[in-house]
């Protein structure tokens, strides 16, 4: 993954399953991931901050007491420990920046949960 260019949109468009992030790069102890999303994800939280960037489309991130709406080019960081549920009415392409130790759905396990081995 190092020493090569990566087109985030192309990588995200190539994903065939919604809510199945793929690692496309590494920065020190963090992964750069892309995902194709549509519909609702599950409520969960992480022990680390999680950065969302919309590459194409629109994404909502519901949190207790607030909803963030992101459009292409916009970024939001969900602080560690904050329960959140991403959702997209229409297909949306996103980039995630997370520590390598971040679990896909935190301590919550659902049918949508992906192990890191499925993301590499």
| CA gap 54, 35 in Å, rounded | 10
User: In order of start, what are the domains of the chain with their CATH numbers?
Assistant: 8-104 (2.60.120.10)
**103 vs 93: CA distance, rounded Å:** 20
50 to 5, 11, 14, 81: CA distances (angstroms) = 23, 20, 23, 10
pLDDT in tens, 72-110: 999 999 999 999 999 999 999 999 999 998 888 777 887
Average pLDDT, rounded, for the chain: 92
Please state the pTM of the whole predicted model: 0.90
Cα 33 → chain centroid: 7
């Amino acid at each position: 993954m190092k020493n090569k260019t990566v087109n985030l949109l192309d990588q995200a468009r190539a994903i065939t399953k919604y809510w199945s992030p793929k690692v496309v790069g590494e920065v020190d102890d963090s992964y750069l991931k892309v995902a194709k999303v549509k519909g609702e994800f599950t409520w969960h939280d992480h022990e680390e901050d999680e950065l969302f960037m919309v590459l194409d489309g629109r994404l909502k991130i519901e949190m207790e007491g607030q909803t963030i709406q992101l459009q292409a080019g916009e970024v939001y960081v969900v602080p560690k420990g904050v329960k959140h549920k991403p959702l997209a009415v229409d297909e949306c392409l996103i980039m995630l920046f997370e520590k390598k130790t971040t679990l896909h759905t935190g301590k919550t396990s659902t049918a949508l949960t992906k192990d890191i081995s499925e993301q590499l």
